[in-house]
Amino acid sequence: MKSLSTYLTLLLFIWVTTCSAQQRVGKIIVPDVLTLQNGNRVTTVKQWREQRRPELISLFKQEMYGTSPGRPQAMIFHVFDVDRHALNGKATRKQITVLFNGKEDGPKMDILLYLPNHVKGKIPAVVGLNFNGNQAVSADPGIRIDTNWMSNSKGVVNNHATEASRGSEAAQWPIETIISRGYAVATVYRGAIDPDFDDGFKNGVQALYPELQNRGDNFATIAAWAWGLSRALDYLETDKAIDAKKVAVFGFSRLGKAALWAGATDERFSLVISNESGAGGAKLFHFTGGEDIARLNSHFPHWFDQNFKKYTGHDTLLPFDQHMVIALVAPRPMYVASAIEDTNSNPEAEFWGLKAAEPVYQLYGKQQLPANSFPAANAPVKAYNAYHVRTGKHNVTPFDWEQYLSFMDEHFKNQQ
């Protein structure tokens, strides 16, 4: 019976794929981003905004990321730390607790925010999640050590951070460089929103929304992290020092998947940076190689919703793909980046994911990437959007940040 069900499911995927409009990107065929589910072609921004975009958001919420709640009505912000002489006087450090249900004993997260002291007027910002607690992004002794569960790593003992964890992630978060370029930087520990293990969604923000569990489109971990990024932006909109119209959302690896979904669904983020996000991020599933749906659903069953499990083993038969998620960012600028040795993320498939979203950007009159083949390493290609693949492994490096900050300069500072 199980084999018959699998066979029928496979036939359904084949039928859906062959009956759906398709587009070619490089040598790959993917579902067409500009064809409505009723078969009509999208030719105007109005059609995209009013018909296709809502249709795609609904599709991905149902079939992959799950349904997320809105802003909690009872949420409050508590600024518990302000140091105007942080980082040897270069920055003002703020730490803010976000009480999601307004209760101290309820789910909450801490935002670590640095503001450059040399900037006059409203400050543009970049916000992203971190892997090992706010104290890991800088050796600054004033940062409160996160007490939530976290994976054992440098300075983390028995799944809890110690003093030795301070600055363990600083190489991926060049705070002083970002500050020197005139940007504020805000970060939140991912595990304060939802711990990165399959716990039945009992220890994250999902506990506030039991009605969004035990269903096919359940509120899963990647969506929860994206939701948390939006809650950080909720705070930034209240901070008088921040230019809330110029906030970039950034993420690396699995947190790059969350940053992409946050940028796709929350149009308040004015620029999106997805660094080596791989499968479930910028990578096309139809471009095989590297991590696939089977590995996502077996190793990380909590990342995506229950409906996504039915696509296991059928990457090239999906009636959707990640270029459609990237397209949801339009007309806001998008930066996708890869690393040559990061074969798990499949760099070329990430490149083509960005390229396959270009028809939507063209509707808005945005210039295409000046590349029609996979570019050379360490040679960024930039137009309105940008892509680079660098030498090296799965990581965030100074080279990556130099490209991102220059890209932010172009869109935030040079286009007043």
Cα–Cα distance for residue pair 216/363, rounded to 1 Å: 33
Length of the chain (residues): 416
Given 138, 253, 270, 277, the catalytic residue = 253
Strands (E), 49-155: 76-85, 91-99, 108-116, 123-130
Cα–Cα distance for residue pair 371/385, rounded to 1 Å: 12
- Of 415, 23, 68, the C-alpha closest to 215 is 68
Give 144's DSSP letter.
P
Instruction: Rounding to the nearest 10 degrees, give the CA dihedral for residues 349, 352, 357, 361.
Output: 140
Q: In sequence order, which residues have a C-beta less than 8 Å from that of residue 415 and are 6 or more positions away?
A: none
Question: Helix or strand or coil: residue 372?
Answer: coil
What are the start-end ranges of the H helices in 48-104? 53-60, 86-89
Determine whether 118 is an active site residue. no
Determine whether 160 is an active site residue. no
Given 20, 153, 160, 394, the catalytic residue = 394
Cα–Cα distance for residue pair 301/321, rounded to 1 Å: 19
- Of 225, 219, 228, the C-alpha closest to 281 is 225
Cα–Cα distance for residue pair 119/342, rounded to 1 Å: 37
Q: Which two tokens stand for residue 154?
A: 């440098």
What are the start-end ranges of the H helices in 300-343? 322-327
Cα–Cα distance for residue pair 258/251, rounded to 1 Å: 7
Amino acid type, 331: P
Q: Which two tokens stand for residue 139?
A: 């050796």
Alpha-carbon distances, residue 406 vs 110, 126, 357 (angstroms): 28, 13, 22
The end-to-end CA distance of the chain, in Å, is: 62
Cα–Cα distance for residue pair 132/138, rounded to 1 Å: 11
User: Is the distance from CB of 133 to CB of 150 less than 8 angstroms?
Assistant: yes
Residue 150: other Cβ atoms inside 10 A = 23
Task: Specify the DSSP element, H or E, that contains 350.
Answer: helix 347-356
Catalytic residues: 253, 394
